[in-house]
């Protein structure tokens, strides 16, 4: 088994464990669209990494294809998270994250994530397939086109996952959120920050394989691949933790929606009755009496509270004697 296959085996194992864990979480009452999406994504990652171990790789083009396919799960995951933060996913609610709502430029940037991530992935595919390189031979020296291939994906992935991580970090600092929501946002921020670090690590590995000497290359790449495994494990743990922490609001939005619409007719009815009372002259006597009482209260130097009580009494008597309805 080659070093790349060994690395793929570890990552496939982590992805499988993560997908099983998330599957259990999503099968329970804590099911969310993101839980299902992340579980399927991790399962796809496990299948892709597993395929590299089982079928092996023959030729540089097949190595490029394997590298490209293993980048798809993070590309999909980051795209989904960015769109959710921009409030662009109809099934997750149309509300964006608070930071995205405050800054329209941030919202537009988050919305553009799938486009640029797939563009970066597509450009990398063109470069990789036009000028094949040993993408899956971790310790082998790499040509310049490999660095270009790797950096095209890593740069976009690193940028958007970093942006999404900072969005969750900002949400975790908000005083308006509850403790459970703060912890949830911290967990998601950590998971996406790990993805950013993996993208940076991946770009450094490509650089080391191009510019490093034989000795330094082996040591540095070995250390970086170990870090990658730890970061991937931390990312999965944080994702599971974030999905496990669920907060149910004390007041349901459906109830509020009913409230918003139900008291508008009541308000309009009040408005209509009030002006009918004024224009039809029903209230004229009460208004005059109120005016006289207010004047009398002023002369007698009554307190404001007592004046209001007197006025309310007159209005109540007028209403009881001559009700409108």
Name which of residues 66 to 85 contact other proteins (CB under 8 A).
81, 84-85
**Contacts with other proteins: how many residues (CB under 8 A)?**
57
288 binds other proteins (CB under 8 A): yes
Closest CA to 166 of 90, 97, 88: 97
166 binds other proteins (CB under 8 A): no
Q: What is the dihedral of CA 105, 111, 116, 119, to 10 degrees?
A: -150
5: CB partners within 8 A, 6+ apart: 52, 53, 56, 57, 136
E strand segments, the chain: none
Q: Tokens 């991530």 belong to which residue?
A: 117
By CB under 8 A, name the one of 1, 58, 90, 94 that touches other proteins. Answer: 94
258 binds other proteins (CB under 8 A): no
88 binds other proteins (CB under 8 A): no
Residue 143 burial (C-beta neighbours within 10 Å; 0-12, 13-18, 19+): middle
90 binds other proteins (CB under 8 A): no
At residue 198, what are phi and psi to the nearest 5 degrees?
-65, -40
317 binds other proteins (CB under 8 A): no
At residue 231, what are phi and psi to the nearest 5 degrees?
-65, -40
- The string of DSSP codes covering 80-144 is HHHHHHTT--GGG-SPPPHHHHH-HHHHHHHHTHHHHHHHHHHHHHHHHHHS---TT-TTS---H
By CB under 8 A, name the one of 24, 264, 296, 324 that touches other proteins. Answer: 264
Q: Tokens 């009452």 belong to which residue?
A: 29
Q: Is the dihedral of CA 248, 196, 161, 70 positive or negative?
A: negative
* Smallest distance from other proteins to CB 259, Å: 6
* Smallest distance from other proteins to CB 23, Å: 17
Q: 61 or 246, CB closer to other proteins?
A: 246
Alpha-carbon span 302 to 299, nearest angstrom: 8
Q: 112 or 290, CB closer to other proteins?
A: 290
By CB under 8 A, name the one of 6, 257, 269, 309 that touches other proteins. Answer: 257
300 binds other proteins (CB under 8 A): no
310 binds other proteins (CB under 8 A): no
By CB under 8 A, name the one of 66, 210, 242, 297 that touches other proteins. Answer: 242
By CB under 8 A, name the one of 30, 59, 93, 309 that touches other proteins. Answer: 93
Closest CA to 101 of 92, 91, 115, 88: 88
* Smallest distance from other proteins to CB 175, Å: 8
Alpha-carbon span 86 to 195, nearest angstrom: 19
95 binds other proteins (CB under 8 A): yes
By CB under 8 A, name the one of 18, 73, 96, 128 that touches other proteins. Answer: 96
* Smallest distance from other proteins to CB 72, Å: 20
The window from 10-18, 59-67, 223-231, 283-291 that contacts other proteins (CB under 8 A) reads 283-291
Interface residues with other proteins (CB under 8 A) are 32, 34, 81, 84-85, 92-98, 101-102, 168, 171, 174-178, 181-182, 184-185, 188, 242-243, 247, 249-253, 256-257, 259-261, 263-264, 267-268, 270-271, 274-275, 278-279, 283-284, 287-288, 290-291, 294, 311
């Amino acid at each position: 088994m080659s070093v790349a296959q060994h690395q793929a085996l570890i990552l496939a194992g982590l992805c499988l464990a993560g997908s099983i864990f998330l599957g259990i979480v999503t099968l329970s009452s804590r099911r969310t669209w993101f839980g299902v999406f992340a579980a399927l994504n991790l399962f796809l990652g496990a299948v892709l990494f597993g395929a590299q171990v089982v079928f092996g790789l023959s030729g540089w083009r097949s190595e490029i294809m394997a590298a490209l396919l293993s980048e798809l799960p993070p590309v999909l995951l980051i795209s989904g998270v960015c769109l959710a933060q921009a409030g662009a996913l109809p099934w997750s609610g149309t509300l964006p994250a608070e930071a995205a709502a405050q800054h329209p430029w941030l919202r537009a940037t988050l919305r553009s994530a799938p486009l640029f991530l797939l563009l970066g992935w597509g450009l990398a595919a063109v470069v990789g397939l036009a000028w094949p390189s040993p993408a899956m031979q971790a310790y082998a020296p790499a040509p310049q086109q490999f660095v270009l291939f790797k950096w095209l994906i890593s740069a976009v992935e690193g940028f958007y996952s970093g942006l999404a991580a900072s969005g969750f970090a900002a949400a975790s600092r908000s005083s308006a959120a509850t403790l459970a929501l703060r912890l949830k946002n911290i967990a998601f921020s950590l998971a996406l920050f790990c993805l950013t670090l993996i993208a940076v690590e991946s770009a450094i590995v490509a650089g080391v394989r191009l510019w490093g000497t034989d000795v330094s290359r082996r040591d540095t790449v070995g250390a970086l691949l170990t870090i990658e495994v730890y970061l991937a494990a931390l990312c999965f743990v944080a994702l599971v933790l974030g999905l496990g922490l669920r907060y149910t609001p004390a007041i349901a939005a459906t109830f509020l929606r009913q409230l918003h619409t139900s008291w508008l007719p009541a308000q309009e009815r009040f408005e209509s009755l009030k002006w009918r009372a004024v224009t039809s002259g029903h209230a004229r006597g009460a208004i005059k009496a109120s005016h006289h009482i207010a004047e009398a209260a002023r002369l007698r130097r009554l307190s404001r509270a007592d004046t209001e009580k007197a006025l309310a009494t007159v209005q109540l008597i007028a209403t009881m004697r001559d009700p409108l309805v």
